[in-house]
Amino acid sequence: MSERSFRQVPKTLILSLVLMVLSVPWWFTGGEEAVFLGMPEWAVFAVAGGIVYACAVAWLMGAEWRREGERGTEEDDS
């Protein structure tokens, strides 16, 4: 297995985990909350964060598969 794959996978894992951490509504604290579409502001943030996370996962899935295709071809050739 190449050194490249050794480095890249933690990158996928770490990127996915970092985006997950960012989707948590850390920045909102108690008190009066503005309401949007019948939901408090922090809940809207959580849903929006989820949508961004889903887009990122879909992109990562495509990118990781392209890399895996290249790796598979390299291994088949060797």
Which spans of this chain sit near another protein (rule: CB under 8 A)? Answer: 1, 5-6, 9-10, 12-13, 16-17, 19-21, 23-26, 28-31, 33, 35, 37-40, 42-43, 46-47, 49-51, 53-55, 57-58, 60-62, 64-65, 67-69, 71-72
Shortest distance (Å) from residue 9 CB to another protein: 4
Closer Cβ to another protein, 1 or 77, answer by number:
1
User: Which is it for the CA torsion 9, 11, 14, 16, positive or negative?
Assistant: negative
Packing angle between helix 3-22 and helix 41-77, nearest 10 degrees?
170
**Two structure tokens written together for 24:** 């948590």
- Judged by DSSP in three states, 40 sits in strand
